[in-house]
Every structure is written in C-alpha cells, then in structure tokens.
C-alpha cells in the first residue's frame, strides 16, 4: 500500500499536519524537531503501537485529549482506501477503513509498515520474542489464517497458565496441554517454512552489504517431553512457576556467524547492516508473495550506517518498489545517496511544524 496522504493532530510535539508523500520522503530537521515523531505517527496508525515502546497514550500531545490520524492509501492497481485511527486518553482506539469500523488487525494487514533505526539491533541482541515477531510479521501478511491461529495459541496459553496458577491437576490441564502443543507445532512448521523462503531472499542482500562471513539462521524449539513421567515432571515445575514451559512462546531464532552468535562476533556496524538486510529481506519476501508494498520508516539512516551500506539500503528500497520515509539532519547527506530515478519529496521539520520544500 502506497501512502498518498497523511494527516495527524495531537501527536507529541507536532503541530497538526497534512502531507502528500511521494515514493521517497525525506524528513529533515534538527534533533528534537519532531522528525521521529512523524515516523511514530505512521507506526501508530498501522500497528496501534509506538516503536519507542511507549503506550499510545504516551504519544498523545501534552495537554491534548487525544490524537487522530488519517491516511489515504493507494494499491498498486490504483484502488484507493481511507484509514483512520483516533485515540482518547485511557480509552480504546477507534479504527476505520473506508468509513467502516475495523480492527487493528484489519489495518495492520492493509498497511505493512516496518521501522528500522536506533534500537532495531535488538533483533539480534534482545529477547526471543523480538525474533519470533520478526517471522510472525511475515506470516501475518502471507498466511491468510495466521492471525486466527496465533489468537488460538494465545488463548490456549492463557487458559493453561491460569490453571497452573491454580495448581490444577494433570487431568484438568490435559485439554489445554493438548491444544497448546498442537497449535504450537503448527505455528513452528509455518515459521520454519517462512524462514526457508526468507533465507533465499536474504542471501543476495548479504553479498551487497559486503558480508563475507557465512550467516546461518536456525529455528530453535525447546525439547518436548517424551514420556508420561517427563510430562508429570514438567507440569510440577510449571505449577511452581505459574506458567507454561513449552509452546510457541518459547521458540527462538539462532542467528550465527562462523559458528558463533552474530551478536557476539560482529562489530557494531556489521550488526546494524545485518539487521537492515534482515528487515529488507522480510519486506521483499512479503512483496514477492503477496504484492503488498511495505512502507519503511528509516530513522537516522545516515548515522546508523556508513555511506556504502546506506546507499545499498536505498537501492534495494527502489528495486523492490517500497515506499520510504527517511529522517536526516542534513538533506544534503542523503541527496548524494538517493538513486536519480527516485520520485522524492523533502519535508522540513522545525519545532514540531512540518512543511514541504
């Protein structure tokens, strides 16, 4: 989906804005001017979350009752859609697509948005949930019924954990143990299949980022109990802890370089380049499988990567037909890296005011 118009109000330090984005959108301004807040607004619209980890109430401007966001989107074949997100403090958001009430899942499916910037290296260094979410994002857009499956798994997990906290008997646990094991196995199979396809897309990207080391990514699942005695022992430990020690929520991705963990072996610059390659491959795979155009939010690109790698990022965005919103301190730093054929729009951001050049 291509964002052709973006309106917003009540967002952090930003004044109300109405923008007409192009394929490439450069947001230029000093630190603290509101550039990243504009990216955050797009992220909230598409996901209902802030990439800064803050609750959406924390994104609402000081003194404002709430925030509103509106986007006009164009599909590759030219169909137009309207997306709205409104949020009052301490209340549930109101979401609309083409004037009709919708869910966060509906708008997230229509607007594949990915943030890449400071903190994105948590994909390598952070908790396993971040890496699981990396694969789940692909499946959410590629597999039509994946959201339903994921919700089913979370329901089974919540029910089983509640019984464990009540120190329920093995008989009482049995139904939800079976359900969690079954749906977790299904999710693991889908994640593994997505990883196989991702690695095919990723391989040529790594060469363009000048990776000479062998990058290996494996899907890791904890060993499941094999005998009845093993299950009873596991459940006893789970009752003491009050939560399940097996299931889709315990899996991880092991990202290795030359036999060791990438987070331990690669330099800081290499880790950042690898994260960009992974997230670009993810978006490219979704485009290949579904035709969906991802919207990339590239925060502080020129500071995050050296010139050669930044140029590769921009070239890949152009080749895959994605839309990009890129923040910079000085637009001249980016101008020499942008492909000449890229349709672009420069926006100045100063003290919360956004206007086109």
10-30 pLDDT tens trace: 999 999 999 999 989 999 999
- Angle of helix 228-241 versus helix 146-165 axis, rounded to 10: 80
DSSP conformation class of 11: B
Q: What is the DSSP string of 125-145?
A: HS-HHHHHHHHHHHHHHH-TT
Confidence (pTM):
0.91
> Pick the residue with more confidence: 138 or 258?
138
Q: What is the pLDDT of residue 109?
A: 86
Q: Phi first, then psi: give them for residue 140, nearest 5 degrees.
A: -60, -35
Is residue 181 predicted with pLDDT exceeding 80? yes
Task: Look up tokens 């000449």; give the residue.
Answer: 340
Instruction: Work out the pLDDT band at 357, boundaries 50, 70, 90.
Output: confident
Does position 341 have pLDDT exceeding 80, yes or no? Answer: no
Residue 68 has pLDDT above 90, yes or no: yes
pLDDT of residue 301: 87
**Mean pLDDT value across residues 140-164:** 95
Strands 344-350 and 24-28: parallel
Q: Which residues of 46-73 are buried (b: 16+ CB within 10 A; e: fewer)?
A: bbbbbbbeeebeebbbeeeebbbbbbbb
339 or 73: whose pLDDT is higher?
73
Quote the CA–CA distance of 139 and 329 in Å, as a whole number.
35
Q: Per-residue pLDDT tens for 231-270? A: 999 999 999 999 999 999 999 999 999 889 999 999 999 9
The percentage of the chain sitting over the pLDDT mark of 90, rounded to a whole number, equals: 73
Instruction: Report pLDDT for 54.
Output: 72
Mean pLDDT of 101-114: 89
Residue 341 near residue 20 (C-beta atoms within 8 A): no
Average pLDDT over residues 316-337: 88
- Segment 147-163 mean pLDDT: 96
159, 152 Cβ separation under 8 angstroms: no
pLDDT at 183: 97
Q: Whats the size of the chain, residue-wise?
A: 357
Cα atoms found within 13 Å of the Cα of residue 151, Cβ hemisphere only: 6
Predicted pLDDT of residue 237 = 94
pLDDT at 169 over 90: no
pLDDT at 336 over 90: no
Helix, strand or coil, per DSSP, at residue 341: coil
pLDDT score of 211: 87
Say how many CA atoms lie within 13 Å of 331 toward its Cβ.
Answer: 16
Distance CA 160, CA 179 (A): 9
Confidence check: pLDDT of 113 > 90:
yes
Task: For residue 344, name the pLDDT band (cuts at 50, 70, 90).
Answer: confident
Which residues does 17 contact at the CB level (< 8 Å), separation at least 6?
6, 7, 8, 9, 38, 354
Mean pLDDT of the chain: 92
Q: Is the pLDDT reported for residue 330 higher than 90?
A: no
Residue partners of 143: CB distance under 8 A and separation at least 6: 149, 190
């Amino acid at each position: 989906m291509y964002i052709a118009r973006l309106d917003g109000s009540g967002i952090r330090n930003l004044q109300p804005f109405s923008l007409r984005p192009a394929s490439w959108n450069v947001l230029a301004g000093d630190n603290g001017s509101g550039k990243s807040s504009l990216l955050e607004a797009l992220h909230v619209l598409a996901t209902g979350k802030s990439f800064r980890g803050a609750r959406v109430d924390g994104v609402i401007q000081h003194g404002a009752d709430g925030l509103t966001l509106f986007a006009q989107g164009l599909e590759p074949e030219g169909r137009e859609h309207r997306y709205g997100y409104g949020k009052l403090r301490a209340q549930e958001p109101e979401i609309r697509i083409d004037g009709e009430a919708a869910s966060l899942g509906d708008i997230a499916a229509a607007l594949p948005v990915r943030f890449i910037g400071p903190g994105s290296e948590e994909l390598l260094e952070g908790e396993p949930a971040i890496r699981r979410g990396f694969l789940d994002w692909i499946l959410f857009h590629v597999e039509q019924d994946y959201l339903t499956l994921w919700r089913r798994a979370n329901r089974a997990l919540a029910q089983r954990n509640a019984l464990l906290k009540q120190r329920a008997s093995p008989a009482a646990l049995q139904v939800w143990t079976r359900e969690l094991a079954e749906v977790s196995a299904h999710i693991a199979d889908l994640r593994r299949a997505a990883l196989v396809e991702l690695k095919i897309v990723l391989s040529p990207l790594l060469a363009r980022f000048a990776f000479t080391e062998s990058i290996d990514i494996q899907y890791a699942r904890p060993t499941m109990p094999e005998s009845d005695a093993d299950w009873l022992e596991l459940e006893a430990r789970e009752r003491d802890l009050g939560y399940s020690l097996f299931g889709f929520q315990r899996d991880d991705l092991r990202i290795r370089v030359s036999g060791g963990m990438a987070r331990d072996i690669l330099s800081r610059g290499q880790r950042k380049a690898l994260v960009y390659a992974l997230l670009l491959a993810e978006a490219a795979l979704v485009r290949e499988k579904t035709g969906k155009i991802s919207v990339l939010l590239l925060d502080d690109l020129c500071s995050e990567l050296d010139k050669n790698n930044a140029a590769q990022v921009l070239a890949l965005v152009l080749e895959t037909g994605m839309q990009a919103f890129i923040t910079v301190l000085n637009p001249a730093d980016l101008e020499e890296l942008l492909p000449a054929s890229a349709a672009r729009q420069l926006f100045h951001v100063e003290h919360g005011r956004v206007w086109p050049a």
